[in-house]
Amino acid sequence: MSGPVVLVTQYGAEEIAIEPAQVLRYLGMGGRQPDQQTSRMIEDCIGEFQKAAAYKVCWLTAEITVQQDGVDFGVFYAPGQSIVRSLKDCRRAIVFAATTGLQAEQQMKRQWVVSKAKAVVLDAVGTAAAEALCDRFCSDRQAELVEQRLRPRFSPGYGDLPLQLQKELLNCLDSHRKIGLFLSEGLLMTPQKSVSAIMGIGGQGCDALRHDCQNCEKRDCLFRL
């Protein structure tokens, strides 16, 4: 029996907007006004990162069964109450893995030898880029849905969803072959600036563009993670 088809979506750097405000947030300076030197370094690092980045996402849409203690995706079983809550009333879900590419990773690593300050900024740029890639991917998938909404993206390691599930998730997506993304023995993704996640498709869902509950003002949202 064949499983769901894995698709690959690629984006050019011009399609992924890395916002300086998000980089500042990952630098732990969110809400503060950066000095001129920091602003310039952020802009430079965004430019350098974009030249090296290769944005790719592999993904599938699975028919799911939400059970009492977990969710059956057919291709794997996700245990825990957090995922049960997140996917309540959903019959389908998107499973995806997204990466900013190996070249951007190598560029970051080389920078550690040259300038640690710049390497720290590049690292934050990489995190912002991976999130921006997910945001773009999610809004593209949302645009294809008729009368249905995506739930916020939910990654292994959130709530009580085991981090180990990343292994099955990336395996079923064949992420190594499809987009060059693999998992180390210690469950670290390479390239590091990558994300793996699940998003339910339901009658109700996330209404925010960014799907980022920690920075969302909708305090009474039913789907807040």
Does residue 202 belong to the site contacting ligand SF4 (CB under 6 A)?
no
Closer residue to ligand SF4 in complex, CB, 120/208: 208
Does residue 85 belong to the site contacting ligand SF4 (CB under 6 A)?
no
Instruction: Kindly provide the residue ranges of all beta strands, DSSP E only, lying in 119-220, ordered along the sequence.
Output: 149-150, 182-183, 189-190, 194-202
Does residue 89 belong to the site contacting ligand SF4 (CB under 6 A)?
no
**Edge-first strand listing for the sheet containing 194-202:** 7-11, 55-63, 92-99, 194-202, 149-150
Closer residue to ligand SF4 in complex, CB, 56/141: 141
Q: Give the Cα separation of 58 and 118 in Å (integer).
A: 30
Candidate list 54, 75, 102, 216; residue touching ligand SF4; CB under 6 A: 216
| Smallest separation (angstroms) from ligand SF4 to the CB of 122 | 27
Which of these segments, 26-34, 50-58, 101-109, 210-218, binds ligand SF4 (CB under 6 A)?
Answer: 210-218
Which of these segments, 7-15, 33-41, 185-193, 204-212, binds ligand SF4 (CB under 6 A)?
Answer: 204-212
Tokens encoding 161: 């969803």
Question: Which x/- pattern over 150-179 shows residues binding ligand SF4 (rule: CB under 6 A)?
Answer: --x---------------------------
With contact defined as beta carbons under 8 Å apart, do 111 and 118 qualify?
yes
- Count the neighbouring beta carbons within 10 Å of the beta carbon of residue 37: 9
Tokens encoding 199: 């998003």
Does residue 211 belong to the site contacting ligand SF4 (CB under 6 A)?
yes
User: What angle in degrees, to the nearest 10, is found between the helix axes of 116-144 and 102-114?
Assistant: 160
Does residue 212 belong to the site contacting ligand SF4 (CB under 6 A)?
yes
Q: Tokens 């916020």 belong to which residue?
A: 152
Tokens encoding 146: 């008729």
Q: Which residues bind ligand SF4 (CB under 6 A)?
A: 152, 206-208, 211-213, 216, 218, 221, 223-224
